[in-house]
Amino acid sequence: MLQIVPVILCGGSGTRLWPRSRAAMPKPFLPLVGDTTLFEASLARCPAELGFVAPVVVTGAKHLEHVEAQLSGAPGATVIVEPAARNTAAAIALAACRLPEDAVMLVCPSDHHIGRPDVFAQAAAAAAALASEGWLVSFGIEATAPETGFGYLKRGEAIEGTTGFRTAQFVEKPDLERAKSFLADGGYAWNGGIFAFRVGDFMAELAAHRPQIAAKVREAVEKGVEDGHRFHPDAATFAEVPSDSVDYAVMENTSRAAMVP
């Protein structure tokens, strides 16, 4: 069984569900669906019996107390404490620089509700298999309405011998008419913001397309310090990292973009 490292990106400004969610207590740490928080559910979706190893959580200092209070169900977890918010490309790179080159990362936001975790696990296994062959994989969520608040993935040709497809195009949040046309077309999925990469492949693509992010994150990790299960990148170096999303920095530029439904 292929081992998968869950990388949980944990933060948020607490604005979307204000006043229930606030900057000091954003929605990942709230029990919005059922008795567990969205963060706890993110951890629970990645159990050892399905091939997942101990997770790596990337969070900011202001959320560290909440993360550690809710980590009890994830033995062996490590926490990378971001000195500053630098968007998802840098956050993922921090985790990558702490992992072996051949490790497969499953990158998950911590604020999703996924109603069928068994289906998620199947998709994760399919994505990890593609990642182990050098693909950079997005999760496409079936579009059921013309949503204008999501990005979209256009499905390309099937990748032989897998359940995956090439990603033909990344599409930013559309207006309503364009969203309606995507739904009618049937070949577009919502971009779930969940990814699977092999560490070495991700860092190579990041270095090719955003070399300063790759170099500065690596330097910040090299100069960082461990504190038990916590890791603190060097703050002064990390402050020099440009802020960019993984979509813009890597996924829209790589020739190895794939998607699993």
- 82-104 pLDDT, tens digit each: 999 999 999 999 999 999 999 99
H helix or E strand, kind and range, residue 210: none
C-alpha Rg value of the chain to the nearest Å: 18
Could you tell me if 9 and 110 are in contact, meaning their C-beta atoms sit under 8 angstroms apart? yes
Averaged pLDDT score across all residues of the chain: 92
Cα→Cα distances 186→139, 172, 215, Å: 16, 17, 40
19: which residues sit within 8 A by CB, 6+ positions away? none
* pLDDT tier at 36, thresholds 50, 70, 90: confident
Rounded distance, CA 243 to CA 140, Å? 25
- 207-252 pLDDT, tens digit each: 999 999 999 999 999 999 999 999 999 999 999 999 999 999 999 9
146: which residues sit within 8 A by CB, 6+ positions away? 176, 179, 180, 182, 183
pTM score above 0.75: yes
- 173-185 pLDDT, tens digit each: 999 999 999 999 9
